């Protein structure tokens, strides 16, 4: 039987989501927990790979098992075997041909920027502290040039292995709540470090450190023209959307993150 779940995790202590040799990954941690409840037919599939230090509030994954367990037994058993930094927030049965990655039509990330005057000691793993004044209107206007289907070679990391640099961005929303600025991006898929490079470039444009416009940078199709890659700590993967499958939405309290992030994406 196939199951699909959603999980959230604090990426601070992980090498990233995808399994790696001699490194702690979220995928490996999840598979170990699932295997403690029932036998995995294969490795799990997942909707988006996140790098070291990147967090998630809605990573979608699916797995198969021939062992008979109720959904409650799976969910409770998996969570009891997970560390405090990972939690499966929902679990449901899925069609045999469902695939978390290949069936996803949209994926949403959010990047949190802190603009307070002093270092955010207790939030250092979850926000990027920007010391310069930020022009939100400029950032929003500049980001609008990225909406649509484009060649995003200017915003791909040097380790990107994708053969096709064309992606479609549906929306970029920039909002401010007190000392926090949140950049939320929804696209069909992403190139390696694409979100972090976009955010880093917008911040440098806002600070006046880049003279080229986002339109010029995009059309140049050259990474050298874009800004620095923003640090991983402020980035959150919010989840994926599917055309013919509805995911269970977990209920969350009014925590720090739920007040800042568009968790209903």
Distance, CA of 196 to CA of 219 (rounded, Å): 19
Total length of the chain: 265
Structure token digits, residue 265: 């994406």
Structure token digits, residue 26: 């979220």
Q: Which of 10, 51, 125, 216 is catalytic?
A: 51
Give DSSP secondary structure letters for 69-90.
--HHHHHHHHHHTS-TTEEEEE
| Residue 125 known to be catalytic | no
| Letter string b/e over residues 104-139, b meaning 16 or more CB atoms within 10 A of that residue's CB | bebbbbbbbbbbeeeebeebeebbbbbeeebeeebb
Give, to the nearest 10 degrees, the angle between helix 71-80 and helix 26-35.
120
Torsions phi, psi of 211, nearest 5? -85, -30
CA dihedral 170, 172, 175, 180 (to 10 degrees): 120
CB 53 within 8 A of CB 12: yes
Torsions phi, psi of 223, nearest 5? -55, -30
Distance, CA of 4 to CA of 245 (rounded, Å): 10
Catalytic residues: 51
């Amino acid at each position: 039987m196939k199951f699909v779940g959603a999980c959230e995790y604090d990426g601070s202590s992980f090498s990233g989501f995808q399994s790696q040799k001699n490194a702690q990954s979220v995928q490996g941690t999840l598979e170990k927990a699932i295997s403690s409840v029932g036998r995995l037919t294969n490795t799990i599939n997942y909707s988006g790979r996140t790098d070291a230090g990147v967090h998630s509030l809605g990573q979608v994954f699916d797995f198969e098992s021939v062992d008979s367990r109720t959904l409650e037994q799976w969910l409770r058993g998996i969570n009891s075997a997970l560390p405090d930094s990972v939690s499966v927030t929902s679990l449901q049965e899925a069609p045999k041909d469902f695939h978390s990655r290949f069936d996803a039509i949209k994926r949403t990330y959010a990047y949190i920027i802190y603009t307070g005057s002093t270092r955010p000691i207790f939030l250092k793993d979850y926000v990027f502290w920007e010391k310069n004044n930020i022009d939100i209107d400029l950032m929003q206007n500049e980001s609008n040039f990225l909406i649509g289907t484009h060649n995003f070679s200017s915003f791909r990391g040097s380790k990107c292995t994708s053969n096709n640099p064309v992606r479609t961005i549906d929306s970029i929303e920039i909002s401010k709540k007190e000392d926090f600025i949140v950049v939320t991006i929804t696209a069909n898929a992403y190139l390696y470090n694409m979100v972090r490079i976009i955010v880093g470039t917008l911040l440098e444009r806002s600070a006046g450190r880049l003279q080229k416009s986002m339109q010029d940078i995009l059309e140049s199709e050259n990474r050298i023209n874009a800004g620095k890659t923003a640090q991983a700590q402020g980035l959150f993967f919010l989840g994926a959307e599917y055309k013919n499958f509805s995911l269970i939405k977990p209920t969350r309290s009014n925590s720090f993150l739920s007040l800042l992030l568009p968790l209903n994406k």
